[in-house]
């Protein structure tokens, strides 16, 4: 795959749209496919797609350090994140879930300060506090009225975003021996290999999949997983990290809008306030400490 250097903005728009549509698509999928099996099939499909891309560019066998990264990101960022969000989506509407799941940067900031010794500025601390306030604003109504099941669903989303954050901090400390895209099919393979036995033990044999589940997987596997992974790596080469992080903040807002239009999800005051607070918190927490015009794009 390649993208003209003159049109990186189109790639970023497609990435945001692909991830935003994925949330209502996964909601439809896990309504008919057990969520852990759904995650397994999702990454199985993505593995086939990404190995096809890798074969065209030259398949790379990961070095020993890269294999450790593959194991961590495949198990936490992919397998754990997808299984936990899938389980949560069996109870929660997708727009609300996407806002909480995209709170990952709020957990990255304190983890990076603790594990990597990165400086935690006052601005970043305020951002984390605002974002956590947004998470509480979204979850508070369910904590009062939805019982143990609703509380568990929100806890699963927080655990999912924390698992992704741990993977991000690990990646920051890693020195890559191979390009990130060359490692992607191995990461998705690890995720699928972990999720398959887990699904069998927890959910039993895979039941027949109806057309809604097939359509959901046909989109989420190749587009929202395989294409999106390639796109985010490619966009990371074209944009400063802060710019990319800010652009991806549009994903939960767009996902919420799509969910409201297609699945009839209601947007109440706590959800709107929480979305604003989480977005503002992530903006403050991830804002670069140097002027934006002094940061060169990642090559």
Instruction: Using the predicted structure, report yes or no on whether residue 8 has a pLDDT greater than 80.
Output: no
What span, in angstroms and rounded, lies between the C-alpha atoms of 103 and 165?
9
Q: Which residue has the higher pLDDT, 104 or 203?
A: 203
Question: What pLDDT, on the 0 to 100 scale, is given for residue 57?
Answer: 79
Which of 28-42, 62-76, 94-108, 235-249 comes out lowest in average pLDDT? 235-249
What is the structure's pLDDT at 32?
92
pLDDT of residue 112: 83
pLDDT given for residue 197 in this prediction: 96
Alpha-carbon gap, residue 66 to 72, rounded angstroms: 10
DSSP secondary structure letters along 182-233: HHHHHHHHHHHHHHHHHHHHHH-SPPPP-HHHHHHHHHIIIIIIIIHHHHHH
pLDDT band at 114 (very low <50, low <70, confident <90, very high): confident
- State the pLDDT at residue 242: 59
For residue 153, tell me if it sits in a domain. yes
Provide the pLDDT for residue 140. Answer: 79
* Cα–Cα–Cα angle for 280, 285, 287, rounded to 5 degrees: 90
In residues, how long is the chain?
299
For residue 257, being part of any structural domain is answered with: yes
Contacts of 225 (CB under 8 A, 6+ apart): 42, 43, 45, 46, 49, 188
Q: Judge whether 114 lies within some domain.
A: yes
Whole-number pLDDT of residue 245? 67
Separation of alpha carbons 151 and 163, rounded Å: 18
The pLDDT of 259-279, averaged and rounded, is: 87
Q: Which pLDDT band holds residue 299 (cuts at 50, 70, 90)?
A: very low
pLDDT tens digits, residue range 19-62? 999 999 999 999 999 999 999 999 999 999 999 988 887 888 99
Which pLDDT score is estimated for 55? 86
Quick one: pLDDT band at residue 145, thresholds 50, 70, 90?
low
- Asked, for residue 261, whether it belongs to a domain, the answer is yes
Is 30 contained in some domain? yes
27 CB-side CA count, 13 A: 24
Any domain includes 292: no
pLDDT of residue 89: 93
Domain that holds residue 260: 8-287
| Of 100, 107, 73, 74, the residue nearest 85 (C-alpha) | 100
pLDDT digits (tens, 9 = 90+) for 68-82: 989 999 999 899 999
Residue 74 lies in a domain: yes
User: What pLDDT does residue 2 have?
Assistant: 52
Q: Report the domain count for the chain.
A: 1
Spatial separation of the C-alpha atoms in residues 289 and 121, rounded to whole Å: 9
Residue scoring higher pLDDT (212 or 285)? 212
Q: Is residue 294 part of a domain?
A: no
Predicted local distance difference test score (pLDDT) of residue 169: 86
pLDDT, position 286: 72
Q: Are residues 224 and 21 in contact, defined by beta-carbon separation less than 8 angstroms? A: yes
Q: Which contacts of 51-54 are long-range, i.e. CB under 8 A and separated by 24 or more positions?
A: 51/185, 51/189, 53/1, 53/181, 53/185, 53/226, 53/230, 54/181, 54/182, 54/184, 54/185
Inform me whether the pLDDT recorded for 298 exceeds 60. no
């Amino acid at each position: 795959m390649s993208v003209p250097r003159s049109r990186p903005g189109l790639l970023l728009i497609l990435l945001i749209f692909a991830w935003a549509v994925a949330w209502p698509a996964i909601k439809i999928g896990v309504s008919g496919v057990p969520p852990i099996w759904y995650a397994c099939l999702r990454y199985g499909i993505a593995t086939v797609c990404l190995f096809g891309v890798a074969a065209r560019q030259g398949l790379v066998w990961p070095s020993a350090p890269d294999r450790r990264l593959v194991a961590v990101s495949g198990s936490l960022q992919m397998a754990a994140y997808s299984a936990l969000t899938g389980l949560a989506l069996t109870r929660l509407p997708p727009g609300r879930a996407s806002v909480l799941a995209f709170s990952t940067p709020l957990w990255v900031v304190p983890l990076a300060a603790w594990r990597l010794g990165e400086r935690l500025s006052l601005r970043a601390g305020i951002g984390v506090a605002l974002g956590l306030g947004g998470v509480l604003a979204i979850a508070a109504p369910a904590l009062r009225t939805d019982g143990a099941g609703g509380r568990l669903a929100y806890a699963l989303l927080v655990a999912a975003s924390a698992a992704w954050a741990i993977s991000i901090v690990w990646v920051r400390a890693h020195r890559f021996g191979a390009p990130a895209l060359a490692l992607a099919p191995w990461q998705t393979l690890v995720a699928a290999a972990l999720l398959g036995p887990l699904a069998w033990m927890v959910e039993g044999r895979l039941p027949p999949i109806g057309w809604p589940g097939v359509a959901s997987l046909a989109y989420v596997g190749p587009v929202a997983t395989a294409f999106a992974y390639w796109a985010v790596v490619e966009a990371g080469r074209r944009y400063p990290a802060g710019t990319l992080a800010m652009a991806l903040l549009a994903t939960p807002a767009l996902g919420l809008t799509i969910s409201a239009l297609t699945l009839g999800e209601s947007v109440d005051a706590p959800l709107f306030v929480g979305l604003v607070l989480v977005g503002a918190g992530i903006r403050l927490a991830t804002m670069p400490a140097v002027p934006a015009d002094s940061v060169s794009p990642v090559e």
